[in-house]
A and B are shown apart, each in its own frame.
Chain A
Amino acid sequence: MKNMMKSGVAALALTIGANAATAEGELVLYHWFEYMPQELLDKFKAETGITVTMDTYDSNEAMLASLKAGGIGTYDVSVPGDYMVAIMAGEGMLDTIAEGELKNKGNISPDWSDPSFDPGRASSIPYQWGSTSFAVNRDAYDGDIQTTDILFNPPAELQGRINVLDSQGEVMALAAIHMGIPQCSTDREQLKALNAMLQEAKQHWASFNSDTAKEVLVSGDADVGMIYDGFAAKARQEKASVEYAFPTQGYVAWMDSVVLLKDAPNRDSALKFMDFLLEPENIAAVSNFARYNNGLTGTSEFLDPDLLAQPENNPPETAGPGVFIEVCDEQTQAVYDKIWTELKK
């Protein structure tokens, strides 16, 4: 029964998701929304003849869920964030890239060639990295914004004008940074305090939204928005009064990586695609589009000059440390799930 159902689900997902994708010269990409410029996919097709089919997701967890529900064997590559690479490796969802299979692997910057979430880059290559904190409409508030109080203990002008990401991992990590407690803390008093702090803070929040994080700032629906740095840069281009903050308490750092999925139906195409993204000119095109940093060497000549100078890429002296999201064990995660449900009930 179990196997029958599992294979049934997988077969169904396969026929729906990728009926055209098993032939030669295809690649099925599972990617974040609004991140990969279409011109780059066109260029890849022009160079290799491989047609790319792209599905998108709006959170690491949504991607994991869809891969668990039968997406393995359908998709070739996906683009998880740092902690999600570790989770997917633990779930056995990643394929190993043998030495020599990627001819451009040497282009990876030494800073990113041996990250804790994928030692030795066994299954992944660096894609883009950046930070997550929040941006403020300076027309609405001209006080100090370099503090997490803006989100969790906001001044009167900003109360009820705040959008937070609808993503447990990022909210919890930034909340822990705000309180100065370790992520995945198991200390009961700390967890109770975290729960109480969030309940209090929520009264000042207007909405939880990830995919419109930029849009609510630009439209003026919100004056504070928890947001990724590149998204904030795009918001600033559309509305000059939007300023991204690097709180003194610290902020969330992240690195998205391109991973080779287990049972990739087009493994060769996937490797070609990864090699393509390891060329400085190509990865720089993603950075220019999405306004993030990349993890390769030799890309500076291809980057927009203003990208390196943009305020979202240059934390002020006062900025606290950027920290990666940690992966909690099952028992601790259950408590965090409970806190999140309490927050949104």
Chain B
Amino acid sequence: MAAGATSGGSATTDTYKEARTWLLLPSWVTLSILVLAPVIMMLIYSFLTKEFRGGVIWEFSLSAYDQFFFDRGLFGDEPPKLEWTYISIFWRSIWQAGVATLLSLAIGFPTAYFIATRSEEMRPVWVFLITIPYWVNLLIRTVSMKFLLRDQGPLNDFLINIGLIDSPLHIVNTNFAVQLGLFYSYLPFMVLPIYAAVERYNFSLSEAAADLYASKLTTLRRVVLPAIKPGVIAGCILVFVPSMGSFLAPDLLGGAKNFMIGSLIEEQFKGNAGNWPFGAAASMILLSMVLIILMFSARQQAKADKAEG
């Protein structure tokens, strides 16, 4: 595909060479205003002094990062120890997002495989069906999820009616509800990239493997999975990254009992704390973690490509 694009485009490249800068300008402007500027602003704010009740004083300070990593006791006058509060909040978010990603993968992979192996006319229909629930706003979907799962909700009613349980399962306000909510929110981001990868997969490779006496499991593991790995990785990143920063599902389904990264940051701007530099610092730390994950997976990908080539 890449080769086709280059040879087809070479004739036109020269024509557009001078215009290219100008043609790219809108995207550069958009990116710098909407992506770069807010990030730089956040970076600057994270190194400023906190103003009481929100806002910043324009004096350089490391206290936001200090607060993140060092615990000086309830009254702030004990010798500093390592602060576990925020690390555990981050760890909880990573854990929740990780479980949600695995759930999405477990359901998303077979779904994508199923769709990709349907007839050519039926595939768009299945993809279309997958996307229908996502026409509805995320907030509404999360609230609906709560309605379904609650103690007096349809799920518990059903399970009690068929005699599987005697008293309702308490699902709402647990970590599991949050994981379920995140999984449901981001499932299509797992299905669609995997579907795209499986659709491109040449199934005669599977036949060849079978001809060479590979078992079905071996074929999946040694032939199919390596071929569609980029789709799987893309899906995992697309589910994991937004899950980690999400605060709707933890608030509504988890009962907001424990901070997640997203709600911790929100509290710094909207809550009593009013600590903008700390909110900005926590955002920068989150951003760095996401960047590290993306860079790591990009490197793995590059290595794999090199090994293949």
Of A163, A206, A336, A341, chain B has the most CB atoms within 10 Å of the CB of: A341
Establish whether residues A342 and B85, one from each chain, have CB atoms under 8 Å apart when the complex forms: yes
A-contact bits for B265-293, CB 8 A (1 contact / 0 none): 00101111111000000000000000000
Q: Which residues of A lie under 8 Å from residue B257 when comparing CB positions?
A: 202, 205-208, 344
Establish whether residues A62 and B255, one from each chain, have CB atoms under 8 Å apart when the complex forms: no
Establish whether residues A345 and B258, one from each chain, have CB atoms under 8 Å apart when the complex forms: yes
* CA A163 to CA B257, docked complex, whole Å: 10
Interface residue A209 (Cβ < 8 Å from any Cβ of B): yes
CB within 8 Å of B: which of A30-84?
A: 59, 61-62, 64-66, 68-69
Interface residue B303 (Cβ < 8 Å from any Cβ of A): no
Q: Which residues of B lie under 8 Å from residue A195 when comparing CB positions?
A: 74
Binds B, one of A276-284, A291-299, A310-318, A327-335: A327-335
> How big is the A interface, by class?
35 or more
Q: Which residues of B lie under 8 Å from residue A91 when comparing CB positions?
A: 53
CB within 8 Å of B: which of A64-120?
A: 64-66, 68-69, 87, 91
Q: Which residues of A lie under 8 Å from residue B271 when comparing CB positions?
A: 59, 61-62, 168, 340
Q: Which residues of A lie under 8 Å from residue B274 when comparing CB positions?
A: 61, 64-65
Interface residue A238 (Cβ < 8 Å from any Cβ of B): no
Interface residue A166 (Cβ < 8 Å from any Cβ of B): yes
Interface residue B151 (Cβ < 8 Å from any Cβ of A): yes
Establish whether residues A220 and B152, one from each chain, have CB atoms under 8 Å apart when the complex forms: yes
> How big is the B interface, by class?
20 to 34
Q: Give the 3 A-B residue pairs with the shortest CB-CB distance, closest first.
A: A207-B255, A168-B272, A208-B256
Tell me the smallest distance from the CB of B40 to a CB of chain A, in Å: 10
A-contact bits for B222-266, CB 8 A (1 contact / 0 none): 000000000000000000000000000001000111110000000
Task: Given A330-B52, A335-B75, answer yes or no on A206-B255 (Cβ-Cβ < 8 Å).
Answer: yes
Q: Which residues of A lie under 8 Å from residue B270 when comparing CB positions?
A: 59, 61-62, 65-66
Interface residue A219 (Cβ < 8 Å from any Cβ of B): yes
* CA A295 to CA B236, docked complex, whole Å: 56
Q: Which residues of B lie under 8 Å from residue A221 when comparing CB positions?
A: 150-151, 172-173
The chain B residue sitting closest to A163, CB to CB, is B255
Establish whether residues A209 and B256, one from each chain, have CB atoms under 8 Å apart when the complex forms: yes
A-contact bits for B138-182, CB 8 A (1 contact / 0 none): 000000000000111000000000000000001011000000000
Interface residue B58 (Cβ < 8 Å from any Cβ of A): yes
Interface residue B89 (Cβ < 8 Å from any Cβ of A): yes
Interface residue B218 (Cβ < 8 Å from any Cβ of A): no
Which of B52, B74, B88 meets A333, CB within 8 Å? B52
Establish whether residues A68 and B55, one from each chain, have CB atoms under 8 Å apart when the complex forms: yes
Tell me the smallest distance from the CB of A61 to a CB of chain B, in Å: 5
Establish whether residues B85 and A334, one from each chain, have CB atoms under 8 Å apart when the complex forms: no
Show 18 residue pairs from A and B whose CB-CB distance is below 8 angstroms, ordered by the A residue: A59-B270, A68-B55, A169-B272, A205-B257, A206-B257, A208-B255, A220-B151, A330-B52, A336-B272, A337-B273, A337-B275, A338-B76, A341-B259, A344-B256, A344-B257, A345-B86, A345-B88, A345-B258
Q: Which residues of B lie under 8 Å from residue A342 when comparing CB positions?
A: 85
* CA A271 to CA B40, docked complex, whole Å: 40
The chain A residue sitting closest to B275, CB to CB, is A337
Which of A62, A219, A344 meets B150, CB within 8 Å? A219
A-contact bits for B27-51, CB 8 A (1 contact / 0 none): 0000000000000010000000000
* CA A339 to CA B89, docked complex, whole Å: 15
Establish whether residues B54 and A206, one from each chain, have CB atoms under 8 Å apart when the complex forms: no
B-contact bits for A145-158, CB 8 A (1 contact / 0 none): 00000000000000
